[in-house]
Structures are given as structure tokens and as C-alpha cells.
Structure 1
Amino acid sequence: MSYFEAPQSVVVVGGGIVGASIAWHLSQSNTTNTTIVAGKVGGIATPNSFAWVNAGSTDAKFYYDFRRRSMNRWRQIEEEVPGLSDYIKWDGSLNWEIKNETKREEYGEKLKAWGYGVVTVNKTEIETSYAPELREDFLPNWALRYTEEGHMEAHIVAEKLIEQAQANGASLLETNVTSLFKNDGRVVGVVLNNGQVVHADHVVVAGGLGSVDLLAAENISLPLTPRAGLLANTVAIDKGLLKGVFYTNDLHMRQTADGRIRFGSDYSDSDPTDNPQAVADDLFAKLQNAFREGDKIGYDYYTVGYRPTPEDGFPILGETGLDGVTVAVMHSGVSNGALVGQIISKQVLTGEKDPMLADFLLSRFSNTTIAAPKNAAAQRRAKLHWKNRICYRAR
């Protein structure tokens, strides 16, 4: 039986929704000091995410179970952290992205069998109860409504979790980590970009795509791909225009806490960064066409975010093979962040491994290497993952 010694100090690398959740959970320990190192409080990918909290967007039952459990944990956290309820809404989602109605129905029945809250709503119900301002010809004959789902202003939630962690005694360093600091082969801290060493008994790497280079320096490969996602935003308008998340054939939209409509699409056959303004303009035209008085909706800006997407689509959580270092990287951090914070902090503090972690270990990727980008454009996109790109259209 191995002996576990609880760490007296832990450094969390990353200030997005995942790092913030881990840090907040860790900060509740009375015996461990937590230090958060974040180049940007609120994260890099987190502010540019659609921030839909769901479990219904996977065909894998084990991953559905993980996400569903995380949704429940978010509800608990909302009760525990003051002010979060203003930025997390549980008003469900309407889904008709599956064009084939037979397949859509089958997918809904599968989720029902798993225990998910799924109901079928017809066009009249959608129009009267969830979005009376949408055009009738935009609406489907019927849609699947996932009653338990929500959405959040993820960067604000991350900021508030870090604020609460600080109130619990955690320290915050708004800077970047350049490398891990080792002594006798064991990681005992991190090196900041000014050369300062922050000592710690344990390091949790939750820096999204920034985690790749940090661990690669220790010959640990993270099979992550920076996948670009473009989201556009209207000016603030009537806050009651949409109720919940709308996930349609080619337009995804929700209304933010400040009244904007945030909207995007899937880009499986194209790269939105090739001509992002053109993509944003096209999306905005689709949005205007979706509403009865779409010409009265004003466009504001678009963002481009780079999702830290693991090779097989599932989170990478737990041991790295390097003594004293735990990793937590994934897409989607918004849906998964609550549970990841809970179980990763518990493992770090007590050595206890949640059974669900077995499906998400880095060790599942045997002999994994990171392929270099094949061309100049790909190299450019890979280097942009750390930038928070917000672009306004000239008026």
C-alpha cells in the first residue's frame, strides 16, 4: 500500500473556467495553500466560448454520465458561490440541428432512455413559449427540448470563482508560467516569465492549449488540436427575446446576461479564420432573417477562439507520469468544469481517484506525438490560440 502525503501547497496554472473551478475547490481545504497563476483571469478560450452547459451532445454513454454529473455539480456551486446565479441560466435548449426527423427522433429517444430530460415541442409551442420574435418559416415542424440544460457567461463565472478562492485564502499571480521547476526529478513548483520560482508540492496544469508546450518541455505529449470557433454578437437588446439555447441546422444562438444575442455555427467543412469578417457578416444575415424584425437588430462584434480539443474528443485528466503534476485539459471546459474541479482537487488533496477518471487518463494515448502544423497557415493559426481576438465591424 502506497503512502500518500497531502500537499501543503498547490499551484494551479490557468485562469479559465477549468482552472478557476479547480482552484476554488482546492481553496476550501484548511491545510493546503493554493496559488493561481493566470496570464488572464477568466481565461483565453473561455471568454470566446458559446458556453452551453449540456450533456446531450455526445453519443458516448460514459461521457454523457460525466457531463450530466458536472451539470448537477454546477447547480450546487451556484448555490455555494455568491452572485453566480446572475450568470448561469437553466432555461433549457431547443434542438433541430439533425435535419432528418427520423434520426432526430431516435436521438431524442436514446437520451430519454439514458434519463435525460427530453420533450418534443411543435412549432406553435416554440413560437409562443420560447421565441415569439422568430419568423415562422425559420422554425421547424418540431424540435427536441432538453429541459435540464443551461448556459452561462463563463468568463464571469471563472472570475467569480477565482475571487471566491481568494476570499478563501488563495493567492493570485496574474502572469504566465514558462516552465516547471524540478528538484531531484520531481516537480516542486513553476517558473514565471520574470524568472521567479513559485514553490509548490503539487502543480495542476489547466492552461488549455498553453499546457502543450509546458508539458512538452518535460517530454509529455498532449494530443490537443487548436480548433477555431467564431462567434458573433449583437448589440444589447430586449433580454426576453430568446429563452434558452437554440441549436438549429446552421445557426446556434443564445441571449447573454447583458441582452446580446451570441450566435455561431459549425465549421466542419471550412475554417472561419480564412476570412472571419465575411463569416461573421454571413452569420449576421442569417440571424436577421431568423427574426420577424431582424432589420432592427444591431451587429456589434465577433470573436475567434481556439478550442483545446483532445485527439479523441474526450477530456484529458489526472496523472501525467511526472511526479507532482496533474493535468486537466478538454473541450468543453464549460460543461465539464464543475466536476473536473471537484474530482481533480479531491485527488490532489487526498489521493483518492474518482472512478470516472479511468476513462480520461492521458495514458490512453499510447506513443502519442504532436504533429507539427503542415503549412504556414496552420502554423499561424496554432500560434494564435493564446490571443483574445475581438473584432468590431466599422460603422
Structure 2
Amino acid sequence: MSPASATKRVAVIGGGILGVSTAVHLLREGASVILLTERGLASEASGRSLSWLNSAGERSTPYHQLRVAGVDRYRTLFAADPGREWLQFGGGLMWNAAGQHEATEARHAYEKSIGYDSKLVAPSEISSVTPGIDAGAVPENAIFNPGEGWVSLPDLIDFLMEEFHARGGELVLNAGKASVMVEDGRTSGVETASGGTYPADAVLVACGAASPAVVEPLGVNIPNGSPVSMLVVTKQVQHDVAAVMNTPRAAVRPNPGGTFALDHDWYEEQITEHADGSFSIPDEVVQELADEASKLVAGNPELKPASWKMGYKPIPGDGEPVLGELGQVPGCYVAFTHSGATLGLIAGELLAGEILTGRKHPMLATFRPGRFS
């Protein structure tokens, strides 16, 4: 702990995984931290994320490297207590629609070329690499990535908040919309819609899909490509599934309590956003997603939706993470990315280091918000 970090006051806006992770990493290094949430913890994207821990497929090299480091941090957490029901490494299984076996083969070849653990399997071989899957749902071939896993972000946030409180962090729930205060060209704290003001030496904006709107009044433009999305959690069901499945009609992962978490994108246009900011979708569409998921599970058990949440899925306009200090407003940092779950621990670690030392981490070099200027 350095003398500078021991006295630095940091305000974090956002109660999702990026905000909470950064707050805890800051506290570990001796900073004074106040965390402000518009509503509750994990009330937005972190509360409705499939949270598949991976770097599968093709993306930029820096993004891949950051995601691999992100998965590594989860492996360290997992090794400390493999019995945690909310963090497991059972691999990932994906396949494409019939007639697209060449695309699957190309993806597998690319993953192998960068050293990402990838196994191309025929339907008959699936039971030998991962349990609980109905191989009849796989039309031609599939990819199994043994090193992948999943996390329940609300449970992880609860776990991290225990340390947050133990280390003396301050939490302000239901603060309403917050804005960044600026004095003499530098960040000076946070002001909430209810009139509360919270002086700080540095501010992190980690508000998911709302992050671009929070920094816009500062003269900062971050393109926002966030679509509406939905996560469904099923009622408890007996199953042996260990892997996260990404398939043409349903993405499925095990979830604590013997349930499943489900999502996809084919129903996005059937989600309605209302004037009060709430969302709705026909019940039959929710059940249709559950029925699609049932086809993937051995024995095709009846899956009944227990709850479903909708909102915007954070995705920057160019698809790449936006992480680091705003050039226009020294002392103000932003964390806005699609892969919030995979990057949650590593991004919090690296951003905390930048906030406290002022030294830019090379792994975040291509993700600076200044690239949009």
C-alpha cells in the first residue's frame, strides 16, 4: 500500500460486477471507496447475464488476451473453493444450424491456431466429453471447449460485497441517477438526482448500457450498440448438464439450485420497452425459449420458467471494451463492455491499479475511450 493510495478517495457509480470488482480491488490497495447504485446491487445487466466465462471464437488479439486473463482470475477464485455452487468450470459446447458444419470446422481451426483448447466432436462423441446433453439435437458437429465455465454474477457480487464491507467500503443504494462533478477541468466527485454530493479524487463510471449517457455531458462520445435482452431462470429440474451450451435457438447454462439460465437473441424484436423504462414480452415467447432449451437436455425434461428479466445488454458501438480514463476529464474512468462477466475480475484489478497509480496498464491500451474522439 502506497501513501497515495491510502488517502485516495474514489467514487464508483454502478452496482454491477465491474463496479463492485473495481471497488473491492481499490479497497485491497488501501483506497477509501464509496459505491453508489441507481437502484440495488446487480439490478441491471449483472442480474440478467448468461455469464459464460470464455474467449471462444474470433476477436481482436488484445481482446482475446484480456478475456483469457479474465478466465484465469476466475480459475484462481474457483481453486480456493471448488465447492461454490455459483462458479463452476464444466466447459462450453457450441454448434451451428444444419448445413453450417464448415463454419463450425473453421471456428475450431481458428481456436486451435491461437492455442485455445478446442475439440471438434461428432454427435456420437458428445457424451464422452460432457454429460447431460441430448446428442440428437446436434445436427452435424459441435465444438467442446474444456476450459470454459460460468458464474452466477448476483452470487459473486454478494461474495465480493462481504469483503467490501469488511474493508470499510461505503455503500449508497437507490441513489437514483448520478452525474460526474467537474471542478477546474478535473473530476471532483459525484452528484445524485436526489441532491446528494460525494466529493472524490477519482470517479469510475460503470453503469452498463447507461455509461455512455453518464459521460456524454462531459463532452465524451462513446457509441452505444446495446440491444435489449432477456435472461430466463427455470424452476428446479433434475439434470446432469455441466457445460454452457450455445446453440442456434437457445443458450443454456446450469444455475445454482438445480435450475437453468437461458437466453438468446431471436426474440429481441418481441420485447417491448415502455415509457416508464420497464420491459415486457409475451409469456408464450418465454415458454418457447424454455421449450427450445429442453430439446438440448438429455431426456428432454419439461422446463418451466420461474422468472425472467429484461433490459439492455451493454455492448459498445464497435464491440470492443471501453476501459480507462477519459482524456477530456482527468480523474474520471469508465468501464463499459459486453463481456462484463468474463472481464469482471481482471478489469476491476487493472482499473484499480490505474486509478491509484496513474500508470496505464498495457493490456488496456487498445480499449481507451479516447479512440472515439
Deviation at 1:76, TM superposition (A): 2.5
Find the aligned partners of 1:78 and 1:201 in 2 and give their Cα distance: 34
Is contact 2:290-2:303 (8 Å) kept?
Answer: no
Partner-residue secondary structure (3-state), 2:161: helix
Further displaced range: 112-121 or 291-300: 291-300
Partner-residue secondary structure (3-state), 1:359: helix
Residue of structure 2 in register with 1:389 after alignment: none
Find the aligned partners of 1:291 and 1:68 in 2 and give their Cα distance: 28
Q: Call closer, same or farther: CA 1:297–1:209 in 2, change over 3 Å.
A: closer
Find the aligned partners of 2:58 and 2:188 in 1 and give their Cα distance: 38
Q: Call closer, same or farther: CA 1:324–1:237 in 2, change over 3 Å.
A: same
Residue of structure 2 in register with 1:282 after alignment: 288
Further displaced range: 149-158 or 68-77: 68-77
Find the aligned partners of 2:213 and 2:353 in 1 and give their Cα distance: 26
- 1:160 maps to a residue whose letter is F
Is contact 2:132-2:242 (8 Å) kept?
Answer: no
Residue of structure 1 in register with 2:315 after alignment: 309
Equivalent residue for 2:343, pick from 336, 339, 351: 336
Find the aligned partners of 1:325 and 1:312 in 2 and give their Cα distance: 21
Partner-residue secondary structure (3-state), 1:151: strand
Equivalent residue for 1:273, pick from 254, 271, 274: 271
Instruction: For residues 56-87 of structure 1, give each alpha carbon's deviation from its aligned partner in whole angstroms, at most 9, with x where no partner exists.
Output: 1433222111111111122234456x799331
Residue of structure 2 in register with 1:294 after alignment: 300
Residue of structure 1 in register with 2:278 after alignment: none
TM-score by length of 2: 0.88
Q: How does 1:1-395 map to 2 (within 5 A)?
A: 6=5, 8-30=8-30, 32-38=31-37, 39-78=39-78, 85-97=84-96, 99=98, 100-127=100-127, 130-132=130-132, 134=134, 136-174=135-173, 175-238=175-238, 240-267=239-266, 271-274=269-272, 275-291=281-297, 293-294=299-300, 296-320=302-326, 321-366=328-373
Q: Call closer, same or farther: CA 1:177–1:27 in 2, change over 3 Å.
A: farther
Q: Call closer, same or farther: CA 1:194–1:78 in 2, change over 3 Å.
A: farther
Is contact 1:23-1:162 (8 Å) kept?
Answer: no
What is the root-mean-square deviation of aligned Cα atoms in Å?
2.4
Find the aligned partners of 1:74 and 1:278 in 2 and give their Cα distance: 36
Deviation at 1:164, TM superposition (A): 1.1
Percent identity for Structure 1 against Structure 2 = 26
Find the aligned partners of 1:302 and 1:178 in 2 and give their Cα distance: 27
Find the aligned partners of 1:365 and 1:319 in 2 and give their Cα distance: 13
- 2:165 maps to a residue whose letter is Q
Find the aligned partners of 1:19 and 1:43 in 2 and give their Cα distance: 12
Is contact 1:14-1:43 (8 Å) kept?
Answer: no
Find the aligned partners of 2:363 and 2:244 in 1 and give their Cα distance: 28
Q: List runs of 5+ in structure 1 lacking aligned partners.
A: 367-395
- 2:63 maps to a residue whose letter is Y
Find the aligned partners of 1:199 and 1:288 in 2 and give their Cα distance: 51
Is contact 2:226-2:316 (8 Å) kept?
Answer: no
Find the aligned partners of 1:17 and 1:253 in 2 and give their Cα distance: 21
Partner-residue secondary structure (3-state), 2:313: strand
Find the aligned partners of 1:91 and 1:291 in 2 and give their Cα distance: 15
Instruction: For residues 230-253 of structure 1, give each alpha carbon's deviation from its aligned partner in whole angstroms, at most 9, with x where no partner exists.
Output: 232321122x43111011122211
- 2:264 maps to a residue whose letter is S
Is contact 2:182-2:188 (8 Å) kept?
Answer: yes
Find the aligned partners of 1:147 and 1:12 in 2 and give their Cα distance: 35
Residue of structure 2 in register with 1:392 after alignment: none
- 2:143 maps to a residue whose letter is L
Deviation at 1:50, TM superposition (A): 0.8
Is contact 1:233-1:301 (8 Å) kept?
Answer: yes
- 1:20 maps to a residue whose letter is V
Deviation at 1:228, TM superposition (A): 1.1
Query: What is the count of residue pairs matched by the alignment?
Result: 358
Partner-residue secondary structure (3-state), 1:180: strand
Partner-residue secondary structure (3-state), 2:28: coil
Deviation at 1:90, TM superposition (A): 0.8
Find the aligned partners of 1:25 and 1:79 in 2 and give their Cα distance: 19
Q: Call closer, same or farther: CA 1:42–1:160 in 2, change over 3 Å.
A: farther
Q: Call closer, same or farther: CA 1:177–1:11 in 2, change over 3 Å.
A: farther
Deviation at 1:166, TM superposition (A): 1.8
